Structure 1
């Protein structure tokens, strides 16, 4: 079983603006100014026209940054231009990432009317102390209210981000957040282990943060997998869980190595047979007739890459891809890291925690 139709491409739009940078985030973003947001919208539409193609698309993803800082009118303008430049499926999945502190019920209704049909909220936690550590702009009550507002506005596909192994996070606190989160009208959860990235405030403060150690972080991850499954959210990728039929069709394109076009500063693409990236510069993106790109991989989709990406999914990969590695597969299966289901081999939740080491062995 595969989780998404692999015959159609996706469109990714990087919106590199935030009200305030979170202390753990190393994604490219800059402060938002009204005139810059308008100039950005115009630049995206200009680039869409430059890339116009007959390649069918069935997903659009506004990532960031905080894409919800764009107005519903600006989002609508971008979607109208995209539909004019590419054969966009009538049932296209259109996702917008949003900070719970940046959208009102009225804006959510307007976004739904503009064509957004899937929304992803950066909730991260529903524990006040955890939200304070993370520098989030919203409270737990505001996050809950925003999710409920989105459902009232007509969104039937709502995702929430959840961070694991936060400073001083306990098993009990995680259970409390998961219990409250899964009681909301949501269909998808992305649960990520906190990673302390160089250059972030958290990196400079890591000795003071008192984050769980490796073993405790692994326990919290396995706890999240178990409790989300009990609540009806089945794991389909290392960090992603969904009710039946509500997986992220767009993100599945990355793991199935399906073409996608990225537009915006620091956006990445796998398009026309190459992987390329846009430099992380808002100023350059706004002033150039077409975004500058740098080739990252001239031959994507190698057997090794397909194996590494496919093993991120709980559906795994065809056993034939590991022909000649049966001894290692059996060894890792006995250790509880791999499982073989018919003609497919996949990592277990325990295996996902050490996936890099296992893949390194399987690729030798």
Structure 2
């Protein structure tokens, strides 16, 4: 499998994707509210067996353009277990010749053996959770890796033949300085990455970080500081040859995340693994959250469904508006009508919204930092 050579905007624009969730971690980060578990290692063997069985019994008459194995920390699995999951995907589904296979990884979990297992399983893209290259910021976030582990992991991956490397970063953590954020961005570029995802720190309820904020043991992020960080991110990554193609994502031309574009363009995707969400032929569904329950239901021959819904036309319109405006290419206007023409005109007049060729509604650079507010007005 080879990475696409043409821009993602014109490659396999309507092919569906597959999302696979691995909920296990060595430890849970203080800001994380995803379906993850740091104390369930004994559940891994049964979970991997169930995940593999669930994949193999769900063939579809479709050609897929992407796989994304997320978590949790997929690379926390033993290499042979992760290879088993990847093999099941390759055996069960038909993929485009240039399909994108991404696995999320934390730096400390990638050694030469893991890198070889990933490459041998067909993975051609890694999303590496660096978050910051400032040790003080990593400590505040409750991260368990050190900055030096990032280049070590990248070296192992490149030695194994995987050179499509994305780095995830978090900005606006209290205690982060202008200089440390600039240094983090510069380090991400120096490492030769092809893609950067940069997100503002969000204090989610029921997380250790939120508890610390409530007891004044930690500061809440400053929204004005985060807005400034976003502007600096766009400036520095743009100067390094990456273009912003989504509110929080930058890539070198042709190396955008095809799988994430599946979501933002309103395409279908299948879901496997506890807590995973999918969208297929008008149905939105989610799988049971607990990995033990997931494994038990699959072993008993049941579909491990947590719930499902069939959104009506208005719900689908709002979803397309929320997701489609996140990407700089915009969303076809015909997919999000009706819109209040007065509100559209007002947002255009304020320089936050524009019309692009092909009658596509899009945020302007000034509108990107205010994406949430603009979308709420339009909705």
Give the TM-score taking structure 1 as reference length.
Answer: 0.93
Give, in angstroms, the shift of residue 130 of structure 1: 0.7
Deviation digits for residues 15-54 of structure 1, max 9, x if unmatched?
A: 0000001000011111365553222221011111232221
1:305 to 319, 324, 333: 319
Alignment partner of 1:333 out of 348, 362, 366? 348
Q: Does 1:110 align with 2:128?
A: no
Q: Distance in 2 between matches of 1:154 and 1:214?
A: 40
Q: Structure 1 residue 200 and structure 2 residue 207: aligned?
A: yes
Deviation at 1:296, TM superposition (A): 4.0
Count how many residue pairs are aligned between Structure 1 and Structure 2: 363
Q: How far apart in 2 are the matches of 1:94 and 1:244?
A: 18
CA deviations 1:179-201 (Å, max 9, x no partner) are 11111121011101110001001
- Among 270, 295, 302, the residue aligned to 1:261: 270
Partner of 1:186: 193
What is the Cα deviation at residue 4 of structure 1?
4.9
How do 1:95-134 and structure 2 match up within 5 A? 95-134=102-141
Distance in 1 of aligned mates of 2:272 and 2:252: 30
Q: Which residue in the other structure is 2:3 paired with? A: none
User: Does structure 2 conserve the Cα–Cα contact (< 8 Å) formed by 1:169 and 1:212?
Assistant: no
* Structure-2 residue corresponding to 1:93: 100
Tell me what 2:4 maps to. Answer: none
Compared CA separation, residues 35 and 200, structure 1 to 2 (3 A): closer
Shift of 1:336: 2.9
Q: Which residue in 2 is equivalent to 1:239?
A: 248
For the pair 1:139 / 2:154, whether they are aligned, the reply is: no
RMSD, matched Cα: 2.0
Q: Distance in 1 between matches of 2:268 and 2:321?
A: 17
CA contact (8 A) 1:225 1:349 kept: no
- Supply the distance in 2 between the matched residues of 1:274 and 1:345 (Cα, whole angstroms): 26
Structure 1 SS opposite 2:345? helix
For structure 1, list consecutive stretches of 5 or more residues without a partner in the other structure.
none
2-structure distance, mates of 1:78, 1:241? 29
Which whole-Å CA distance do the structure 2 matches of 1:3 and 1:97 have between them?
A: 25
Which secondary structure state, in structure 2, belongs to the residue aligned with residue 51 of structure 1?
coil
- Counterpart residue number, 2:64: 57
Closer/same/farther in 2, CA of residues 300 and 293 from structure 1, 3 Å limit: farther
Q: d(CA) in 2 for partners of 1:200 and 1:154?
A: 37
Please report the TM-score for the alignment, with normalisation by the length of structure 2: 0.90
Matched-pair contact (CA < 8 Å) for 1:274–1:300: no
Alignment gaps of 5+ in structure 2: 1-7
Q: What's the secondary structure of 2:148's corresponding residue?
A: helix
Q: 1:314 aligns with which of 322, 328, 345?
A: 328
Q: Is the 8 A contact 2:136 2:175 kept in 1?
A: no
Q: How far apart in 2 are the matches of 1:242 and 1:54?
A: 31
Query: 1:277: which partner in 2?
Result: 286
